[in-house]
Amino acid sequence: MHAFDVLSDPVRRRILELLIEGEHASGEVVAAISREFGITQSAVSQQLKVLRESGLATVRVEGTRRFYALRAGPLAEANAWLDRFRRFWDQPLDALATEIARGKRARKRVSAAPSGHARTPSRDARRGRAGGRAG
C-alpha cells in the first residue's frame, strides 16, 4: 500500500502522530486510539498491521509485548513526490504571511497612536478597495 493510501485514514494518521513521540507499546496505542475514535482493540490492531505492512511502522517484540515505532522512509518518499507541487502552495502561503504581517504592523500603529489620535482607515479601505484603486 502506498504511503498516501495509508495516510488517507484518520485513525492511521493519528497512530503515526503518536509514534512521532517515540516507541509505544501496542496496548498504549490501542488505549489512546480506542478512547479517541471509539473503536475496538481488534480495529486498532488491524490499523497497526496496515502501518507495519506498508513499512510506515516497525514492531519490536519483547516477551509478550509489542512495541511500535515510526519508520520515516516511506513518508520521506511521499514528501519527495510532493516537492514537485510545492510551488502551487508555497507562493500563496508566502503572500498570506506577508498580509498577516502587514495587518499586525497596522494594528501596532493604531494601538501605539496617542490617545484621541487613533488613526482611522482611509476612505478607500473603508469602501473595501485595495491600494486606493476602484474595485
pLDDT digits (tens, 9 = 90+) for 20-44: 999 999 999 999 999 999 999 999 9
pLDDT over 70 at 127, yes or no: no
pTM, two decimals, is: 0.61
Please give the pLDDT value at position 66. Answer: 95
- 24 alpha-carbon distance from chain centroid: 21
Query: pLDDT at position 72, please?
Result: 84
- How far is Cα 98 from Cα 119, in angstroms, rounded to an integer? 22
Please state, for a pLDDT cut of 70, what percent of the chain lies above it. Answer: 79
Mean pLDDT (the chain) is 82
3-77: CATH architecture: Orthogonal Bundle (1.10)
Q: What does the buried/exposed string (b/e) look like for 44-75 if buried means 16 or more CB atoms within 10 Å of the residue's CB?
A: beebbebbeebebbeeeeeeeebbbebbeebb
How far apart, in Å, do the first and last CA atoms of the chain sit? 50
Question: Which grid coordinates are listed for 126?
Answer: 473603508
Residue count of the chain = 135
pLDDT-based confidence at 135, cuts 50/70/90?
A: very low
